[in-house]
A and B are shown apart, each in its own frame.
Chain A
Amino acid sequence: MGNQTLAGKTMKRRDFLKLSIAGLATTTIAATTMRNKASGPVGDSPHKWAMVIDQSKCNGCGYCVDACRACNDVAPDKAWTRLIAQEPEEERDVYLPVPCMQCADAPCVDICPVGASYYRPDGIVMMDYDKCIGCRYCELACPYHARSFNWKAFTEGNPAVPDWGQPEVARRPRGVVEKCAFCYQRIDRGLAMGLTPGVDEQATPACVVACPPGARVFGDLNDPESQVSQLLAGNCSYRLREDLGTEPRVYYLPVQAEEEAACHDNV
């Protein structure tokens, strides 16, 4: 039956045009909205917070994890900052404390469908727990396993309280993803009181305050006199997975400072 089979049909110009316009419109809309990089932090803030962790000082005590759990009301089966034991080097143990990297080009901010993950002008990647729908796309996207989902509600008492601190932020409900936010509540509160985050304990993230050997240092990269700036200027440092281009705000001072390899982009 000849003239209506698909293969033998000669398309009218009108139909071809219709199809092409549809395809073109589709591609254009898709291409312009699908720029997969949300803009980074807009520079409205004089501060640029960063953390430097000196691995030669970290002894793996885990006090940072406990203090964070107390001050941010984190459940015992979660950790916003994790402590990884690495291979011992030169007969000493090596530990890697990993908070949220607060990336300047964060994959989690780009892909959150409701924009619950967003940049603050001072560089902190914030979570809006009221917007989050719990789709866990950010958990897939984060290269550092920094995010944890509330599979169940945390209703019990927090065992880290009161020894390690008091909760300073609201507890998250079931069904949302949570992560470290550089204790923004302490930073904001401290700035309002005229304190300096990184110098004054009340304005500094809980993990930094709790660290007994002082391995964690916090401060403002925009201030050349701050401890973080000076540490980074004077020492060899590295960041995790720099090859991904996430531009993390957490720097590490390696255990053996003389190791050249640790200064360059790691594998």
Chain B
Amino acid sequence: MAQDSPPECLACHTTGYDAATHTWEEEGVGCSTCHEMGPNSTHHPEQVMPVNRSPEACGTCHVDTHEDWAMSKHGEEDLACVKCHNPHTAELKKENVQEVCIDCHNEESYFYAFTAHSQEGMICTDCHFQVSETPAGEGHGKLVHTFAVDLNNCNQCHEHQMHSTSSDAAFMGTMGTAMGGAEGEGVAGVTPCEALDTLQQARNDIVFPDQIDSNVLAPEPPSGLAPLSFVLPMVFGLALGIVVTPLAERAFRRVQI
């Protein structure tokens, strides 16, 4: 880093930063932020490196996000950051954020699929995951982890309907850019099935009682004959032939002569 880097940045982006002496050991976010160097780690690799997976450890740098999270229901239930995020890449453990919501909030997603919001093509994060007002804030928290929905979320689209007395209040216009897509246009005409598909992408680990080991089980025994039912008549025929043929031959010879 350049010599004139502000100390507020260095505190997170180096390892072993000492504010008093303005020195540090490693640039970039070092491993020791979470894997504390200490007496327990000196015998690595014979012993496993200790690790701190608590939200507080993440929160020393991701301050805003941690504060948001602590205020949210997730924070109350102590849903740690590492449950959804890969601690090394900070990315989500699933393909996209929508899947992560659906994994736990499956029931809500099922009912949501039939709503008008869903038919407009909106998904959970359009309302529940706002872009932060301070994009380059401390800890660089870009998306607000309170998951809360307040009036500002509604006003993203319905602002012109606020306090409106005309019958047009019922008319659904979408004039916001909250969806991040084309301005002013909603993605209309999404059917509940399509919405459900979008919402249900990640739920492929669940086994329903009639589908174990990817072998489809049936509530009725399969109709049709058992495998050996064809062999049996053949063998029976063979045995019968062994008995009957000489008799027939003898009879034939008798007739001939």
Q: A and B, one complex? A: yes
Binding site for B on A (CB under 8 A): 59-63, 65-66, 77, 79, 82-86, 92-93, 95, 145, 148, 162-164, 189, 192-193, 201-202, 210, 212-214
Contact of A93 with B107 at beta-carbon distance under 8 Å, contacts A85-B209, A145-B212 already known? yes
Instruction: Provide 16 A-B residue pairs closer than 8 Å at the C-beta atoms, listed in order of the A residue.
Output: A59-B107, A60-B203, A62-B103, A62-B206, A63-B83, A66-B93, A77-B214, A79-B205, A84-B206, A84-B209, A86-B209, A92-B107, A95-B206, A210-B83, A212-B84, A213-B104
Most buried by B among A85, A86, A93: A85
How far apart are the CA atoms of A202 and B214 in the complex, in Å?
32
Interface flags for B167-209 (1: CB within 8 Å of A; 0: not) read 0000000000000000000000000000000000011111111
Most buried by A among B77, B89, B103, B205: B205
Smallest Cβ distance from A70 to chain B, in angstroms?
10
Residue of B nearest to A65 (CB): B205
* Inter-chain contacts of A164 with B (CB < 8 A): 93
A59 is contacted by which of B50, B91, B105 (Cβ under 8 Å)? B105
* Inter-chain contacts of A86 with B (CB < 8 A): 209
B203 is contacted by which of A62, A92, A162, A163 (Cβ under 8 Å)? A62
Contact of A202 with B104 at beta-carbon distance under 8 Å, contacts A83-B205, A84-B207, A84-B208 already known? no
* Inter-chain contacts of A60 with B (CB < 8 A): 106, 203, 206
Secondary structure type dominating chain A contacts = mixed
Please state if A189 and B203 are interface contacts (CB–CB under 8 Å). no
Asked whether any CB of chain A lies closer than 8 Å to the CB of B48, the reply is: yes
Please state if A62 and B48 are interface contacts (CB–CB under 8 Å). no
How far apart are the CA atoms of A114 and B32 in the complex, in Å?
46
How far apart are the CA atoms of A162 and B85 in the complex, in Å?
11
8 additional contacts (CB under 8 A) given A202-B51, A212-B84: A63-B83, A82-B212, A86-B209, A163-B91, A189-B48, A193-B47, A210-B83, A213-B104
* Inter-chain contacts of A145 with B (CB < 8 A): 212-213
Residue of A nearest to B54 (CB): A201
The total of Cβ contacts below 8 Å across the A-B interface reads 76
How far apart are the CA atoms of A84 and B205 in the complex, in Å?
9
Smallest Cβ distance from B78 to chain A, in angstroms?
8
Q: Count of chain B residues with Cβ under 8 Å from any Cβ of A?
A: 33
Asked whether any CB of chain A lies closer than 8 Å to the CB of B88, the reply is: yes
Interface flags for B220-241 (1: CB within 8 Å of A; 0: not) read 0000000000000000000000
* Inter-chain contacts of B152 with A (CB < 8 A): none
Contact of A148 with B209 at beta-carbon distance under 8 Å, contacts A59-B106, A63-B83, A193-B47 already known? no
Smallest Cβ distance from A38 to chain B, in angstroms?
27
Asked whether any CB of chain A lies closer than 8 Å to the CB of B140, the reply is: no
Interface flags for B81-98 (1: CB within 8 Å of A; 0: not) read 001101011010110000
Q: Which 3 A-B pairs have the closest CB atoms?
A: A62-B205, A61-B103, A163-B93
Asked whether any CB of chain A lies closer than 8 Å to the CB of B42, the reply is: no
Contact of A83 with B51 at beta-carbon distance under 8 Å, contacts A62-B103, A163-B86, A193-B40 already known? no
* Inter-chain contacts of A189 with B (CB < 8 A): 48
Asked whether any CB of chain A lies closer than 8 Å to the CB of B79, the reply is: yes
How far apart are the CA atoms of A82 and B208 in the complex, in Å?
10
* Inter-chain contacts of B206 with A (CB < 8 A): 60, 62, 83-85, 95
Residue of A nearest to B88 (CB): A162
Smallest Cβ distance from B134 to chain A, in angstroms?
28
Smallest Cβ distance from B92 to chain A, in angstroms?
8
